[in-house]
A and B are shown apart, each in its own frame.
Chain A
Amino acid sequence: MNGLESRRAGSRSILWAVLIILVIIYAFPFVYMLFTSFKTPIETNAIPPTILPNTWTIQNYVTALNTQGVLTSFLNSIQTAVLSTVISLMLAIPAAYAVTRFRTRLGRVFILVALVMRMVPAIVVGAPLISLFHSVGLSDTSLALAIAQATVSLPLSIWLMASFFEAVPDDLEEAARIDGCSRLGSLWRVVLPVTRGGVAVAAIFAFLASWNDFIFALLLTSVRAVTTPLEIANFQSQFGLDWGSMTSLAVLYSIPVILLTLILQRHIVAGLTLGAVKG
Protein backbone atom coordinates (compact mmCIF):
# COMPACT_ATOMS: atom_id res chain seq x y z
CA MET A 1 0.00 0.00 0.00
CA ASN A 2 1.93 3.02 -1.15
CA GLY A 3 -0.50 5.11 -3.14
CA LEU A 4 -0.01 3.35 -6.48
CA GLU A 5 -3.32 1.51 -6.08
CA SER A 6 -6.19 2.59 -8.19
CA ARG A 7 -8.97 4.14 -6.08
CA ARG A 8 -11.88 4.85 -8.39
CA ALA A 9 -14.33 1.96 -8.74
CA GLY A 10 -14.82 2.56 -12.47
CA SER A 11 -11.18 2.41 -13.41
CA ARG A 12 -10.64 -0.54 -11.06
CA SER A 13 -13.16 -2.64 -12.99
CA ILE A 14 -11.47 -1.78 -16.29
CA LEU A 15 -8.10 -2.76 -14.82
CA TRP A 16 -9.56 -6.03 -13.52
CA ALA A 17 -10.90 -6.80 -16.97
CA VAL A 18 -7.52 -6.10 -18.59
CA LEU A 19 -5.72 -8.25 -16.03
CA ILE A 20 -8.13 -11.16 -16.44
CA ILE A 21 -7.76 -11.08 -20.23
CA LEU A 22 -3.96 -11.00 -19.93
CA VAL A 23 -3.91 -13.88 -17.47
CA ILE A 24 -6.20 -15.97 -19.69
CA ILE A 25 -3.90 -15.38 -22.68
CA TYR A 26 -0.91 -16.21 -20.50
CA ALA A 27 -2.43 -19.40 -19.13
CA PHE A 28 -3.81 -20.54 -22.48
CA PRO A 29 -0.74 -22.34 -23.95
CA PHE A 30 -0.44 -24.75 -21.05
CA VAL A 31 -4.20 -25.31 -20.79
CA TYR A 32 -4.29 -26.03 -24.52
CA MET A 33 -1.44 -28.52 -24.10
CA LEU A 34 -3.39 -30.18 -21.29
CA PHE A 35 -6.52 -30.49 -23.48
CA THR A 36 -4.48 -31.76 -26.43
CA SER A 37 -2.97 -34.51 -24.33
CA PHE A 38 -6.49 -35.93 -23.85
CA LYS A 39 -7.44 -35.87 -27.55
CA THR A 40 -7.45 -38.78 -29.96
CA PRO A 41 -4.56 -38.84 -32.46
CA ILE A 42 -6.91 -37.89 -35.31
CA GLU A 43 -8.31 -34.92 -33.45
CA THR A 44 -4.81 -33.73 -32.49
CA ASN A 45 -3.98 -33.14 -36.13
CA ALA A 46 -7.45 -32.02 -37.20
CA ILE A 47 -7.90 -29.02 -39.47
CA PRO A 48 -9.30 -26.73 -38.16
CA PRO A 49 -8.01 -27.54 -34.67
CA THR A 50 -10.40 -27.89 -31.73
CA ILE A 51 -9.80 -26.47 -28.28
CA LEU A 52 -11.68 -28.93 -26.06
CA PRO A 53 -11.37 -32.62 -26.96
CA ASN A 54 -14.52 -34.04 -28.61
CA THR A 55 -13.80 -37.37 -26.99
CA TRP A 56 -11.63 -37.52 -23.90
CA THR A 57 -9.08 -40.32 -23.86
CA ILE A 58 -6.01 -41.23 -21.81
CA GLN A 59 -4.58 -43.17 -24.74
CA ASN A 60 -1.72 -40.67 -25.21
CA TYR A 61 -0.60 -41.16 -21.62
CA VAL A 62 -0.64 -44.93 -22.01
CA THR A 63 1.38 -44.69 -25.25
CA ALA A 64 3.88 -42.23 -23.80
CA LEU A 65 4.49 -44.20 -20.61
CA ASN A 66 4.82 -47.48 -22.52
CA THR A 67 7.43 -46.02 -24.85
CA GLN A 68 10.77 -47.68 -24.34
CA GLY A 69 12.94 -45.67 -21.96
CA VAL A 70 10.35 -43.18 -20.74
CA LEU A 71 9.89 -44.59 -17.24
CA THR A 72 13.64 -45.00 -16.80
CA SER A 73 14.12 -41.40 -17.92
CA PHE A 74 11.76 -40.24 -15.17
CA LEU A 75 13.81 -42.05 -12.55
CA ASN A 76 16.99 -40.64 -14.11
CA SER A 77 15.57 -37.11 -14.00
CA ILE A 78 14.71 -37.45 -10.32
CA GLN A 79 18.06 -39.01 -9.44
CA THR A 80 20.05 -36.43 -11.39
CA ALA A 81 18.12 -33.49 -9.97
CA VAL A 82 18.54 -34.71 -6.38
CA LEU A 83 22.27 -35.36 -6.87
CA SER A 84 22.77 -32.01 -8.54
CA THR A 85 20.92 -30.17 -5.76
CA VAL A 86 22.97 -31.89 -3.06
CA ILE A 87 26.28 -31.14 -4.82
CA SER A 88 25.29 -27.53 -5.36
CA LEU A 89 24.20 -26.91 -1.75
CA MET A 90 27.08 -28.77 -0.11
CA LEU A 91 29.56 -26.60 -1.97
CA ALA A 92 27.59 -23.35 -1.84
CA ILE A 93 26.77 -23.21 1.88
CA PRO A 94 30.34 -23.21 3.27
CA ALA A 95 31.56 -20.93 0.47
CA ALA A 96 28.76 -18.39 0.95
CA TYR A 97 29.27 -18.52 4.72
CA ALA A 98 32.99 -17.82 4.42
CA VAL A 99 32.41 -14.97 1.97
CA THR A 100 29.88 -13.22 4.20
CA ARG A 101 31.62 -13.86 7.56
CA PHE A 102 35.29 -13.23 6.79
CA ARG A 103 34.69 -10.43 4.28
CA THR A 104 38.09 -10.80 2.64
CA ARG A 105 39.04 -9.31 -0.69
CA LEU A 106 39.55 -12.85 -2.00
CA GLY A 107 35.99 -13.74 -1.05
CA ARG A 108 34.62 -10.80 -3.01
CA VAL A 109 36.69 -11.70 -6.06
CA PHE A 110 35.52 -15.31 -5.76
CA ILE A 111 31.82 -14.49 -5.71
CA LEU A 112 32.28 -12.14 -8.65
CA VAL A 113 34.13 -14.79 -10.67
CA ALA A 114 31.44 -17.33 -9.78
CA LEU A 115 28.74 -14.97 -11.01
CA VAL A 116 30.56 -14.36 -14.27
CA MET A 117 30.95 -18.13 -14.72
CA ARG A 118 27.17 -18.42 -14.53
CA MET A 119 27.11 -16.44 -17.76
CA VAL A 120 29.28 -18.86 -19.76
CA PRO A 121 27.16 -20.47 -22.50
CA ALA A 122 26.51 -24.15 -21.72
CA ILE A 123 27.71 -25.26 -25.15
CA VAL A 124 31.20 -23.88 -24.39
CA VAL A 125 31.63 -25.88 -21.17
CA GLY A 126 29.61 -28.85 -22.35
CA ALA A 127 31.80 -29.93 -25.26
CA PRO A 128 35.07 -30.28 -23.25
CA LEU A 129 33.15 -31.92 -20.39
CA ILE A 130 32.28 -34.80 -22.74
CA SER A 131 35.94 -35.80 -23.01
CA LEU A 132 36.67 -34.99 -19.35
CA PHE A 133 33.96 -37.37 -18.12
CA HIS A 134 34.94 -39.93 -20.73
CA SER A 135 38.52 -39.98 -19.45
CA VAL A 136 37.43 -40.73 -15.86
CA GLY A 137 34.89 -43.36 -16.91
CA LEU A 138 31.80 -41.32 -16.06
CA SER A 139 30.37 -41.13 -19.58
CA ASP A 140 26.60 -41.39 -19.71
CA THR A 141 26.07 -41.40 -15.92
CA SER A 142 23.64 -39.40 -13.80
CA LEU A 143 26.56 -38.24 -11.64
CA ALA A 144 28.37 -36.65 -14.59
CA LEU A 145 25.17 -34.94 -15.72
CA ALA A 146 24.43 -33.75 -12.17
CA ILE A 147 27.93 -32.25 -11.92
CA ALA A 148 27.56 -30.45 -15.25
CA GLN A 149 24.20 -29.01 -14.21
CA ALA A 150 25.63 -27.97 -10.85
CA THR A 151 28.08 -25.70 -12.68
CA VAL A 152 25.02 -23.63 -13.58
CA SER A 153 23.23 -23.75 -10.23
CA LEU A 154 26.28 -23.39 -7.95
CA PRO A 155 26.97 -19.70 -8.66
CA LEU A 156 23.30 -18.88 -8.11
CA SER A 157 23.22 -20.94 -4.89
CA ILE A 158 26.31 -19.15 -3.56
CA TRP A 159 24.78 -15.80 -4.41
CA LEU A 160 21.43 -16.63 -2.78
CA MET A 161 22.98 -18.16 0.35
CA ALA A 162 25.36 -15.20 0.74
CA SER A 163 22.37 -12.85 0.71
CA PHE A 164 20.59 -14.89 3.37
CA PHE A 165 23.66 -15.26 5.61
CA GLU A 166 24.21 -11.52 5.33
CA ALA A 167 20.90 -11.01 7.12
CA VAL A 168 21.89 -13.10 10.17
CA PRO A 169 23.14 -10.74 12.90
CA ASP A 170 26.72 -11.35 14.08
CA ASP A 171 25.60 -11.20 17.76
CA LEU A 172 23.63 -14.40 17.35
CA GLU A 173 26.75 -16.26 16.37
CA GLU A 174 28.98 -14.59 18.92
CA ALA A 175 26.75 -15.89 21.68
CA ALA A 176 27.19 -19.41 20.32
CA ARG A 177 30.94 -18.94 20.01
CA ILE A 178 31.26 -17.75 23.60
CA ASP A 179 29.47 -20.94 24.58
CA GLY A 180 32.31 -22.83 22.89
CA CYS A 181 30.96 -23.46 19.41
CA SER A 182 33.45 -23.71 16.53
CA ARG A 183 32.89 -21.80 13.31
CA LEU A 184 31.53 -24.89 11.61
CA GLY A 185 29.51 -25.70 14.70
CA SER A 186 27.86 -22.30 14.74
CA LEU A 187 27.16 -22.49 11.02
CA TRP A 188 25.48 -25.86 11.51
CA ARG A 189 23.67 -25.19 14.81
CA VAL A 190 22.89 -21.48 14.66
CA VAL A 191 23.09 -20.01 11.19
CA LEU A 192 21.56 -22.78 9.09
CA PRO A 193 18.49 -23.27 11.31
CA VAL A 194 17.60 -19.57 11.09
CA THR A 195 18.16 -19.51 7.32
CA ARG A 196 16.08 -22.63 6.58
CA GLY A 197 13.93 -20.62 4.18
CA GLY A 198 17.01 -19.53 2.29
CA VAL A 199 18.31 -23.08 1.99
CA ALA A 200 14.89 -24.06 0.61
CA VAL A 201 15.05 -21.32 -2.01
CA ALA A 202 18.55 -22.32 -3.13
CA ALA A 203 17.47 -25.98 -3.22
CA ILE A 204 14.42 -25.23 -5.38
CA PHE A 205 16.47 -23.33 -7.92
CA ALA A 206 19.21 -25.97 -8.06
CA PHE A 207 16.54 -28.64 -8.51
CA LEU A 208 14.81 -26.70 -11.28
CA ALA A 209 18.09 -25.98 -13.09
CA SER A 210 18.66 -29.72 -13.30
CA TRP A 211 15.07 -30.81 -13.90
CA ASN A 212 14.60 -28.41 -16.82
CA ASP A 213 18.07 -28.78 -18.35
CA PHE A 214 18.24 -29.95 -21.93
CA ILE A 215 21.60 -29.05 -23.44
CA PHE A 216 23.85 -30.87 -20.94
CA ALA A 217 21.62 -33.94 -21.14
CA LEU A 218 21.86 -33.77 -24.92
CA LEU A 219 25.66 -33.59 -24.82
CA LEU A 220 26.49 -35.89 -21.91
CA THR A 221 23.99 -38.75 -22.02
CA SER A 222 23.30 -41.36 -24.67
CA VAL A 223 21.52 -44.42 -23.26
CA ARG A 224 21.70 -45.14 -19.53
CA ALA A 225 21.43 -41.65 -18.05
CA VAL A 226 18.93 -40.11 -20.50
CA THR A 227 16.52 -37.71 -18.78
CA THR A 228 12.89 -36.98 -19.66
CA PRO A 229 13.42 -33.70 -21.59
CA LEU A 230 15.35 -35.73 -24.18
CA GLU A 231 12.53 -38.28 -24.37
CA ILE A 232 10.01 -35.48 -24.86
CA ALA A 233 12.09 -34.06 -27.70
CA ASN A 234 12.46 -37.54 -29.21
CA PHE A 235 8.74 -37.79 -29.89
CA GLN A 236 9.19 -35.35 -32.71
CA SER A 237 12.07 -36.99 -34.51
CA GLN A 238 11.55 -40.68 -33.93
CA PHE A 239 7.92 -41.08 -34.90
CA GLY A 240 7.38 -38.05 -37.11
CA LEU A 241 5.36 -35.56 -35.12
CA ASP A 242 3.58 -37.39 -32.34
CA TRP A 243 2.05 -34.37 -30.62
CA GLY A 244 -0.31 -36.50 -28.51
CA SER A 245 2.44 -38.45 -26.75
CA MET A 246 4.68 -35.41 -26.59
CA THR A 247 2.07 -33.23 -24.91
CA SER A 248 1.07 -35.93 -22.44
CA LEU A 249 4.66 -36.57 -21.39
CA ALA A 250 5.30 -32.82 -21.18
CA VAL A 251 2.25 -32.46 -18.92
CA LEU A 252 3.43 -35.29 -16.67
CA TYR A 253 6.90 -33.78 -16.48
CA SER A 254 5.61 -30.27 -15.71
CA ILE A 255 3.07 -31.23 -13.03
CA PRO A 256 5.63 -31.84 -10.25
CA VAL A 257 7.25 -28.45 -10.73
CA ILE A 258 3.92 -26.64 -11.08
CA LEU A 259 2.78 -28.19 -7.80
CA LEU A 260 6.10 -27.18 -6.29
CA THR A 261 5.43 -23.61 -7.43
CA LEU A 262 2.01 -23.53 -5.83
CA ILE A 263 3.21 -24.97 -2.54
CA LEU A 264 6.41 -22.97 -2.25
CA GLN A 265 5.23 -19.82 -4.01
CA ARG A 266 6.42 -17.46 -1.28
CA HIS A 267 9.91 -18.93 -1.21
CA ILE A 268 10.23 -18.85 -4.98
CA VAL A 269 9.14 -15.23 -5.21
CA ALA A 270 11.57 -14.36 -2.41
CA GLY A 271 14.43 -16.04 -4.24
CA LEU A 272 13.65 -14.49 -7.60
CA THR A 273 13.34 -10.99 -6.31
CA LEU A 274 16.06 -11.07 -3.67
CA GLY A 275 19.28 -9.53 -5.01
CA ALA A 276 17.45 -7.55 -7.63
CA VAL A 277 15.34 -5.54 -5.22
CA LYS A 278 17.92 -5.10 -2.50
CA GLY A 279 20.62 -3.89 -4.90
Chain B
Amino acid sequence: MILPAALFLAVFVAWPLVQFIGNSFYHYNPIGDGPHTFVGFSNYVQAFTSPAFANSAWRTVAYTVIVVFFEFALGLIVALLFTALGDRSRVFRTIFLYPLMIAPIVAGLLWRFLLIDNSGIVNQLLYEAHLTSSPDQIQWLSDPNIALFAVALPDIWLTTSFISLVLFAGLQNIPADVIEAARIDGAGYPTLLFQVVIPLLRPVIAVALIVRGVDAARAFDVIVVQTQGGPQNSTETMSLLVYNTQISDGNPGLASAMGTIYLLVMMIVAVIAVLAIWRPGSDRA
Protein backbone atom coordinates (compact mmCIF):
# COMPACT_ATOMS: atom_id res chain seq x y z
CA MET B 1 0.00 0.00 0.00
CA ILE B 2 3.03 2.22 0.31
CA LEU B 3 3.89 1.52 -3.31
CA PRO B 4 1.70 4.16 -5.06
CA ALA B 5 2.98 6.96 -2.83
CA ALA B 6 6.56 5.70 -3.13
CA LEU B 7 6.30 5.53 -6.92
CA PHE B 8 4.83 9.01 -7.04
CA LEU B 9 7.66 10.44 -4.97
CA ALA B 10 10.22 8.51 -7.00
CA VAL B 11 8.91 9.78 -10.34
CA PHE B 12 8.11 13.37 -9.38
CA VAL B 13 10.74 14.13 -6.73
CA ALA B 14 13.61 11.64 -6.84
CA TRP B 15 13.90 11.40 -10.63
CA PRO B 16 13.86 15.18 -11.18
CA LEU B 17 16.45 15.40 -8.42
CA VAL B 18 18.71 12.91 -10.19
CA GLN B 19 18.32 14.86 -13.43
CA PHE B 20 19.01 18.12 -11.66
CA ILE B 21 22.20 16.74 -10.13
CA GLY B 22 23.14 15.21 -13.50
CA ASN B 23 22.76 18.61 -15.18
CA SER B 24 25.33 20.06 -12.85
CA PHE B 25 28.07 18.19 -14.74
CA TYR B 26 27.15 19.69 -18.11
CA HIS B 27 27.35 23.02 -19.77
CA TYR B 28 24.52 23.80 -22.17
CA ASN B 29 22.10 26.40 -23.40
CA PRO B 30 18.51 25.76 -22.27
CA ILE B 31 17.02 27.22 -25.45
CA GLY B 32 16.93 25.02 -28.53
CA ASP B 33 18.81 21.75 -28.89
CA GLY B 34 22.29 23.05 -28.31
CA PRO B 35 25.10 20.65 -27.46
CA HIS B 36 25.41 19.23 -23.96
CA THR B 37 29.08 19.38 -23.10
CA PHE B 38 30.30 17.25 -20.22
CA VAL B 39 32.43 19.52 -18.05
CA GLY B 40 33.04 17.40 -14.96
CA PHE B 41 33.22 19.42 -11.77
CA SER B 42 33.93 22.75 -13.42
CA ASN B 43 30.47 24.10 -12.58
CA TYR B 44 31.18 23.31 -8.94
CA VAL B 45 34.56 25.00 -9.11
CA GLN B 46 32.87 28.02 -10.64
CA ALA B 47 30.18 28.03 -7.92
CA PHE B 48 32.66 27.76 -5.08
CA THR B 49 34.91 30.47 -6.47
CA SER B 50 32.09 32.88 -7.31
CA PRO B 51 31.56 35.68 -4.79
CA ALA B 52 27.85 35.74 -5.71
CA PHE B 53 27.49 32.18 -4.42
CA ALA B 54 29.32 32.79 -1.15
CA ASN B 55 27.44 36.03 -0.51
CA SER B 56 24.15 34.38 -1.26
CA ALA B 57 24.93 31.51 1.12
CA TRP B 58 25.59 33.96 3.95
CA ARG B 59 22.47 35.93 3.09
CA THR B 60 20.41 32.74 3.29
CA VAL B 61 21.83 32.00 6.74
CA ALA B 62 21.25 35.60 7.86
CA TYR B 63 17.70 35.62 6.50
CA THR B 64 16.91 32.32 8.24
CA VAL B 65 18.34 33.55 11.55
CA ILE B 66 16.43 36.86 11.36
CA VAL B 67 13.13 35.15 10.54
CA VAL B 68 13.45 32.39 13.13
CA PHE B 69 14.71 34.68 15.88
CA PHE B 70 11.91 37.24 15.57
CA GLU B 71 9.23 34.62 15.09
CA PHE B 72 10.39 32.75 18.15
CA ALA B 73 10.67 35.84 20.37
CA LEU B 74 7.29 37.23 19.30
CA GLY B 75 5.65 33.82 19.18
CA LEU B 76 6.72 32.99 22.73
CA ILE B 77 5.49 36.33 24.09
CA VAL B 78 2.11 35.88 22.43
CA ALA B 79 1.79 32.25 23.54
CA LEU B 80 2.55 33.27 27.14
CA LEU B 81 0.00 36.09 26.93
CA PHE B 82 -2.67 33.72 25.64
CA THR B 83 -1.86 31.29 28.42
CA ALA B 84 -1.85 33.98 31.09
CA LEU B 85 -5.25 35.25 29.95
CA GLY B 86 -6.81 31.80 29.72
CA ASP B 87 -9.93 30.83 27.84
CA ARG B 88 -11.27 34.31 27.25
CA SER B 89 -8.47 35.03 24.79
CA ARG B 90 -9.97 32.60 22.25
CA VAL B 91 -11.29 35.28 19.87
CA PHE B 92 -7.83 36.81 19.71
CA ARG B 93 -6.30 33.43 18.98
CA THR B 94 -8.54 33.19 15.92
CA ILE B 95 -7.56 36.65 14.69
CA PHE B 96 -3.94 35.71 15.24
CA LEU B 97 -4.33 32.63 13.07
CA TYR B 98 -5.39 34.32 9.86
CA PRO B 99 -2.07 35.35 8.26
CA LEU B 100 -1.10 31.67 8.16
CA MET B 101 -3.70 31.08 5.48
CA ILE B 102 -2.65 33.95 3.23
CA ALA B 103 -0.52 33.19 0.17
CA PRO B 104 3.14 34.18 0.68
CA ILE B 105 3.04 36.08 -2.59
CA VAL B 106 0.09 38.17 -1.37
CA ALA B 107 1.96 38.86 1.86
CA GLY B 108 5.08 39.86 -0.04
CA LEU B 109 3.24 42.28 -2.32
CA LEU B 110 1.20 43.66 0.56
CA TRP B 111 4.29 44.45 2.61
CA ARG B 112 6.00 45.95 -0.39
CA PHE B 113 3.03 48.29 -0.56
CA LEU B 114 3.17 49.03 3.18
CA LEU B 115 6.90 49.80 2.99
CA ILE B 116 7.05 52.00 -0.13
CA ASP B 117 9.58 54.74 0.58
CA ASN B 118 7.59 57.95 0.26
CA SER B 119 3.93 56.94 0.26
CA GLY B 120 3.99 53.78 2.39
CA ILE B 121 1.80 53.69 5.46
CA VAL B 122 4.56 52.30 7.72
CA ASN B 123 6.86 55.24 7.11
CA GLN B 124 3.94 57.65 7.45
CA LEU B 125 2.94 56.18 10.83
CA LEU B 126 6.56 56.24 12.04
CA TYR B 127 6.74 59.89 11.00
CA GLU B 128 3.47 60.80 12.69
CA ALA B 129 4.65 59.05 15.86
CA HIS B 130 7.76 61.30 15.67
CA LEU B 131 10.04 58.27 15.45
CA THR B 132 11.50 59.50 12.16
CA SER B 133 12.09 63.04 10.96
CA SER B 134 10.63 62.58 7.48
CA PRO B 135 8.36 59.98 5.84
CA ASP B 136 11.12 58.82 3.49
CA GLN B 137 13.89 58.56 6.04
CA ILE B 138 13.92 54.76 6.05
CA GLN B 139 14.31 53.27 2.55
CA TRP B 140 13.15 49.81 3.60
CA LEU B 141 13.47 47.97 0.32
CA SER B 142 15.94 50.16 -1.54
CA ASP B 143 18.68 50.53 1.06
CA PRO B 144 20.96 47.49 0.59
CA ASN B 145 21.95 47.63 4.27
CA ILE B 146 18.48 46.94 5.61
CA ALA B 147 16.69 45.35 2.65
CA LEU B 148 17.36 41.80 3.84
CA PHE B 149 15.65 42.63 7.12
CA ALA B 150 12.76 44.39 5.35
CA VAL B 151 12.05 41.43 3.03
CA ALA B 152 11.92 39.17 6.08
CA LEU B 153 9.03 41.16 7.61
CA PRO B 154 6.21 39.49 5.65
CA ASP B 155 7.67 36.07 6.41
CA ILE B 156 7.73 36.95 10.12
CA TRP B 157 4.20 38.34 9.88
CA LEU B 158 2.89 35.23 8.11
CA THR B 159 4.22 32.54 10.39
CA THR B 160 4.74 33.93 13.87
CA SER B 161 1.23 32.51 14.37
CA PHE B 162 2.55 29.03 13.72
CA ILE B 163 5.17 29.32 16.46
CA SER B 164 2.67 30.81 18.92
CA LEU B 165 0.12 28.10 18.26
CA VAL B 166 2.62 25.31 18.69
CA LEU B 167 4.07 26.87 21.84
CA PHE B 168 0.59 27.61 23.18
CA ALA B 169 -0.40 23.96 22.73
CA GLY B 170 2.84 22.92 24.43
CA LEU B 171 2.15 25.26 27.35
CA GLN B 172 -1.30 23.72 27.86
CA ASN B 173 0.34 20.32 28.26
CA ILE B 174 2.61 21.32 31.13
CA PRO B 175 1.27 19.52 34.22
CA ALA B 176 -0.27 21.82 36.82
CA ASP B 177 1.54 20.15 39.74
CA VAL B 178 4.96 21.01 38.28
CA ILE B 179 4.03 24.70 38.18
CA GLU B 180 2.42 24.47 41.62
CA ALA B 181 5.54 22.87 43.12
CA ALA B 182 7.75 25.63 41.69
CA ARG B 183 5.41 28.30 43.05
CA ILE B 184 5.44 26.74 46.52
CA ASP B 185 9.24 26.84 46.36
CA GLY B 186 8.83 30.58 45.93
CA ALA B 187 9.71 30.89 42.24
CA GLY B 188 8.72 34.22 40.66
CA TYR B 189 7.47 34.43 37.10
CA PRO B 190 10.91 34.93 35.45
CA THR B 191 12.40 32.00 37.37
CA LEU B 192 9.35 29.88 36.58
CA LEU B 193 9.66 30.78 32.90
CA PHE B 194 13.39 30.19 32.44
CA GLN B 195 13.95 27.37 34.92
CA VAL B 196 10.77 25.35 34.51
CA VAL B 197 8.61 26.26 31.51
CA ILE B 198 11.22 26.71 28.77
CA PRO B 199 13.18 23.54 29.67
CA LEU B 200 9.92 21.55 29.63
CA LEU B 201 9.01 23.02 26.25
CA ARG B 202 12.40 22.19 24.76
CA PRO B 203 11.20 19.42 22.37
CA VAL B 204 8.27 21.53 21.17
CA ILE B 205 10.53 24.53 20.65
CA ALA B 206 13.01 22.40 18.72
CA VAL B 207 10.39 21.06 16.31
CA ALA B 208 8.91 24.50 15.71
CA LEU B 209 12.31 26.04 15.05
CA ILE B 210 13.38 23.29 12.66
CA VAL B 211 10.17 23.39 10.62
CA ARG B 212 10.37 27.17 10.33
CA GLY B 213 14.12 27.21 9.79
CA VAL B 214 13.90 24.85 6.82
CA ASP B 215 11.04 26.84 5.31
CA ALA B 216 12.83 30.16 5.78
CA ALA B 217 15.97 28.78 4.14
CA ARG B 218 13.83 27.83 1.11
CA ALA B 219 11.94 31.14 0.94
CA PHE B 220 11.34 32.29 -2.60
CA ASP B 221 7.86 33.76 -3.21
CA VAL B 222 8.00 36.40 -0.50
CA ILE B 223 11.40 37.73 -1.58
CA VAL B 224 10.98 37.56 -5.35
CA VAL B 225 7.82 39.68 -5.40
CA GLN B 226 9.33 42.31 -3.14
CA THR B 227 12.77 42.90 -4.59
CA GLN B 228 13.64 40.13 -7.08
CA GLY B 229 16.91 39.86 -5.15
CA GLY B 230 17.86 43.54 -5.31
CA PRO B 231 18.90 46.21 -4.50
CA GLN B 232 22.48 45.34 -5.50
CA ASN B 233 21.69 41.66 -4.85
CA SER B 234 21.33 42.41 -1.15
CA THR B 235 18.29 40.11 -0.85
CA GLU B 236 19.39 37.39 -3.28
CA THR B 237 19.17 34.28 -1.15
CA MET B 238 20.02 30.79 -2.42
CA SER B 239 16.61 30.01 -3.96
CA LEU B 240 16.70 33.28 -5.89
CA LEU B 241 20.30 32.81 -6.99
CA VAL B 242 19.52 29.35 -8.39
CA TYR B 243 16.39 30.68 -10.08
CA ASN B 244 18.14 33.72 -11.55
CA THR B 245 21.10 31.65 -12.78
CA GLN B 246 18.77 29.09 -14.32
CA ILE B 247 16.13 31.32 -15.88
CA SER B 248 17.54 34.83 -16.27
CA ASP B 249 21.19 33.98 -16.98
CA GLY B 250 20.23 30.82 -18.90
CA ASN B 251 23.00 28.76 -17.34
CA PRO B 252 21.27 25.60 -16.05
CA GLY B 253 24.57 23.76 -15.54
CA LEU B 254 25.88 26.30 -13.05
CA ALA B 255 22.43 26.70 -11.48
CA SER B 256 22.26 22.93 -10.95
CA ALA B 257 25.69 22.84 -9.34
CA MET B 258 24.70 25.67 -6.97
CA GLY B 259 21.35 24.02 -6.29
CA THR B 260 23.00 20.67 -5.59
CA ILE B 261 25.35 22.15 -2.99
CA TYR B 262 22.42 24.06 -1.45
CA LEU B 263 20.34 20.89 -1.42
CA LEU B 264 23.09 18.77 0.15
CA VAL B 265 23.61 21.24 2.97
CA MET B 266 19.85 21.47 3.61
CA MET B 267 19.51 17.69 3.55
CA ILE B 268 22.33 17.14 6.01
CA VAL B 269 20.92 19.72 8.39
CA ALA B 270 17.40 18.33 7.94
CA VAL B 271 18.33 14.69 8.46
CA ILE B 272 20.32 15.48 11.59
CA ALA B 273 17.42 17.52 12.89
CA VAL B 274 14.74 14.93 12.10
CA LEU B 275 16.77 12.04 13.52
CA ALA B 276 17.55 13.98 16.65
CA ILE B 277 14.02 15.06 17.39
CA TRP B 278 11.33 13.04 15.74
CA ARG B 279 11.60 9.27 15.39
CA PRO B 280 8.85 8.34 12.95
CA GLY B 281 6.96 5.10 13.49
CA SER B 282 8.60 4.46 16.86
CA ASP B 283 6.61 4.05 20.07
CA ARG B 284 6.90 7.73 20.81
CA ALA B 285 5.31 8.83 17.54
Contact = CB atoms under 8 A, between A and B. Distances in A.
Interface of A: 1-6, 12, 15-16, 18-20, 22-23, 26-27, 29-30, 32-33, 36, 45-49, 51, 87, 90-92, 94-95, 97-100, 103, 106-108, 110-117, 119-125, 127-129, 131-132, 147-148, 150-151, 154-155, 158-159, 162-163, 166, 208, 211-212, 214-215, 229, 232-233, 236, 243, 246-247, 250, 253-254, 257-258, 260-262, 265, 268-269, 272-273, 275-279
B20 A124 contact: yes
20 contacts: A4-B80, A4-B174, A23-B96, A26-B99, A27-B95, A29-B107, A29-B157, A47-B135, A94-B2, A97-B1, A107-B281, A124-B263, A129-B16, A151-B8, A155-B9, A233-B109, A268-B100, A275-B278, A276-B169, A276-B208
A119 B270 contact: yes
Given A233-B225, A243-B113, A3 B183 contact: yes
B220 interface: yes
B278 A279 contact: yes
Contact of B98 (A124, A166, A253, A258): A258
B103 A36 contact: no
B120 A49 contact: yes
B5 A95 contact: yes
Contact of B20 (A87, A91, A125, A166): A125
B19 interface: yes
A162 B284 CA distance: 13
Given A19-B81, A214-B105, A94 B214 contact: no
Interface stretch (B32-40, B83-91, B143-151): B83-91
Given A122-B218, A151-B13, A269 B165 contact: yes
B119 A48 contact: yes
Interface in B169-189: 169-176, 179-180, 183
A7 B216 CA distance: 38
A62 B54 CA distance: 47
B131 interface: no
B43 interface: no
A276 B207 contact: yes
A250 B17 contact: no
B94 interface: yes
Given A18-B81, A112-B280, A119 B266 contact: yes
Task: List the 6 shortest-distance A-B pairs measured between CB atoms, nearest first.
Answer: A128-B16, A3-B179, A95-B5, A212-B103, A94-B1, A273-B169
A117 B13 contact: yes
Contact of A122 (B8, B119, B220): B220
A116 B270 contact: yes
Given A119-B266, A121-B259, A32 B114 contact: yes
A92 B20 contact: no
B5 A158 contact: yes
Given A115-B280, A119-B270, A277-B170, 10 more contacts: A22-B78, A122-B220, A124-B263, A127-B16, A128-B16, A131-B19, A158-B5, A212-B102, A214-B104, A277-B173
B17 A124 contact: yes
Interface in B240-285: 242-243, 246, 252, 255-256, 259, 262-263, 266-267, 270-271, 274, 277-278, 280-282, 284-285
A107 B278 CA distance: 15
Nearest to A113: B9
A192 B83 CA distance: 34
* Most chain B CB neighbours (cut-off 10 Å) among A106, A151, A257, A273: A273
A154 B8 contact: yes
A261 B97 contact: yes
Contacts of A108: 280-282
B1 A123 contact: no
A2 B172 contact: yes
Contact of B280 (A27, A111, A154): A111
B6 interface: yes
A12 B85 contact: yes
A271 to B, nearest CB: 10
B211 to A, nearest CB: 8
B220 A19 contact: no
B270 A26 contact: no
Given A30-B99, A214-B104, A275 B207 contact: yes
A121 B169 contact: no
Given A19-B92, A47-B118, A166-B285, A95 B2 contact: yes
A189 to B, nearest CB: 16
* Most chain A CB neighbours (cut-off 10 Å) among B4, B8, B256: B8
